[in-house]
Structure 1
């Protein structure tokens, strides 16, 4: 048996796609979760992500003439499984893994140091470790668009606007109902800083995973009588929280969810109780975007779409997968412009991620203007500081109810740099000099 056939047999044995071993292609691992309590998010995001990759191949012939290939590895949204998938997939393809998108905070924490050693970027779009926005200390982590810390400043600004101004937050009470995990705990420092800055009282209440038991938490919320509830949930925790809010009489139009609590799958199971509920967003719902229309035409009409339920195309989670595809593919294109039109290493793709510049003009060219806002990364800023939108559920669909709300970088960035510097000191890391980076 030839070496190639041996590798192919091994790949099939562990559930990897044969395309992962094709020569001359750019390999993107898909560490998805299609089973388990968080499968609704996983199937939607990775379905949209894979459809966008296949669109680029079908419509454009790949990136710079280089076809894109991928293999899925099921993580079940478990950190240990995600780490196993990382080890399985990091060396595949002609030049190794381009980057990893776990769509889960735990694996990002677990692989921070290993990714630097392996020189493979960890792309955490709208999630993960917020201080990784400081690229001087975290050269291989990219919490693109908006970190959880930044998003929470936009969320408090949105609540302030609803109250008639930020000064009206003084004396208000906000409950932070959060998933008791690394993901859920990530925003505790920034919320405490905002409470101090604006004078509102903060009550943080954890919910053990998966979150289908919340009676005690909502009894506490009823006793606290807050003005607003921030729902930092995930999976079944979200419709459960909305239903419990209705049971104790808390108004859903005073609940604001994180973007992992703001998809159709988070509200439809809650029925009429979800009407009026509000959530932050990385992206809106809808299939009106040219790239999504092209996916429908080129993939779904020919039976090549990734979603088992085509009705989910254009949903919040699906469109978030398109956002993942856009940012990953654009990083490859930018890196190709520097290193050549060939399969690139993770180290080379890292350069592309650090030099993204998505203008309105570029987003229009890609057919996604309005699906995500303009953003730009650099050595110093691995986030891009994109603004946040807010949508409200009317019982049938999500309606955008805000302009793009800017994040409060005057508050966030000093905390990012302070936390990153502390991490660097603990790990003996010498921060990069960004003035020397080109």
Structure 2
């Protein structure tokens, strides 16, 4: 290959990387602005999931700036850094962003991936930067006395496992009917996928069902062996905890091996339009958990359509993704960041906040129905009440079913059995504190 050709390709790659880095970036940061870093993954095996998430976040931040004039007058500035959903690049992006942007301080940080969230746990604590992991991350970080800067908001993996079992109990006619049932979990073989093993073992012991665990190696492009194992085991239900390309592969392979798709319940990272559209007829009847339902008829969507989409200012490249589960999860990510900063401003003043001040705002975040109506998220987001001792604050999800064209909600909110799960969380947090030499905060005093 000639030098000129190699250089041309190298220059093209650099240009593409620059475009990815700067995409969605507003004006240069200035004094008085709040920096919201975006650790994104627009390329790689999980890009189809990530792209609508960033669109939701960016559209909401742009709405706050342009329609509401910022948070009490404090404008938001953001910038992207491509992680490809890897821990290594996630750490690089965090190091690039942790000191803010041209004088604008960094507040809450969104790792946007379980590998990076785990890798950054100690770093973020040392730097006093709160990590928001909406629907993923360290479940034991629910205990804010040990993890003051980790917030596994709304639905931890432990709560997700409990919601799934509670839904199965509803369908089977009661918890007593779970005894002797076979329940299989087909899971992405990563920290994310393995996170539900502990709670499912506990719940299996409590209710007497057989707990079958079947791993799928990343990225999950071939799953014949796993679904042959499912066919041989003949479970009554399958909990599908895949991610990215492994989800449609799982659904299509399940159909090929004759397992009924309406007995498969996907977790929240296997629950979006992008997960089921590639499955065609095979996906009809597939069920999934969601703490943020799909749909574009919530009040916030009407506001965004008028002020952002119709004005040609949306980050969304595919209009069909407007209102998808992943787009809506991005909206909720954005809303949590904004409302946490707003809560922090009540104590520290209407100005940009440091990471530690944003942490205080998160621990005092209270979103009741009235506030959710004010910001346009009523019906899209469950009520949220956070504190020093509770960094999850929700613990519920709804079940939706794919009809080949759209998701339809088939339950109201199904609440996790958080009381049963909490001893597991406390024990895991205590073990972490012992390992790291951490003296837990007294949450009765630190409020």
Indicate the residue corresponding to 1:387 in structure 2: 396
Contact 1:19 1:69 (8 Å CA) reproduced: yes
1:371 has 2:371 as partner: no
Indicate the residue corresponding to 1:79 in structure 2: 87
Contact 1:259 1:282 (8 Å CA) reproduced: yes
Measure the CA separation in 2 of the matches of 1:413 and 1:123: 20
Aligned Cα RMSD in Å?
Answer: 1.4
1:61 has 2:69 as partner: yes
Indicate the residue corresponding to 2:35 in structure 1: 27
Alpha-carbon shift at residue 135 of structure 1 (Å): 0.2
Q: Quickly say closer, same or farther: Cα 1:299–1:18, change in 2 above 3 A.
A: closer
Q: Quickly say closer, same or farther: Cα 1:259–1:193, change in 2 above 3 A.
A: same
Q: Count how many residue pairs are aligned between Structure 1 and Structure 2.
A: 428
Measure the CA separation in 1 of the matches of 2:81 and 2:32: 22
- TM-score by length of structure 2 reads 0.94
Contact 2:268 2:289 (8 Å CA) reproduced: yes
Indicate the residue corresponding to 1:310 in structure 2: 319
Alpha-carbon shift at residue 14 of structure 1 (Å): 9.6
Measure the CA separation in 1 of the matches of 2:229 and 2:154: 34
Alpha-carbon shift at residue 195 of structure 1 (Å): 0.7
Partner SS for 1:231: strand
Indicate the residue corresponding to 1:219 in structure 2: 228
Partner SS for 1:348: helix
Pairs within 5 Å for 1:45-194? 45-93=53-101, 94-194=103-203
Residue by residue over 1:86-105, the C-alpha shift from the partner in whole angstroms, topping out at 9 and shown as x without a partner, is 00011123353212112211
1:266 has 2:278 as partner: no
Measure the CA separation in 1 of the matches of 2:445 and 2:128: 19
Indicate the residue corresponding to 2:8 in structure 1: none
1:331 has 2:334 as partner: no
Alignment partner for residue 297 of structure 2, among 272, 288, 291?
288
Contact 1:374 1:386 (8 Å CA) reproduced: no
1:427 has 2:433 as partner: no
Partner SS for 1:426: helix
Indicate the residue corresponding to 1:300 in structure 2: 309
Measure the CA separation in 2 of the matches of 1:423 and 1:107: 18
Contact 1:31 1:72 (8 Å CA) reproduced: yes
Indicate the residue corresponding to 1:36 in structure 2: 44
- TM-score by length of structure 1 reads 0.96
Gap runs ≥5 in structure 2? 1-16
Indicate the residue corresponding to 1:8 in structure 2: none
Partner SS for 1:117: helix
Measure the CA separation in 2 of the matches of 1:91 and 1:248: 52
Gap runs ≥5 in structure 1? 1-10
Partner SS for 1:435: coil
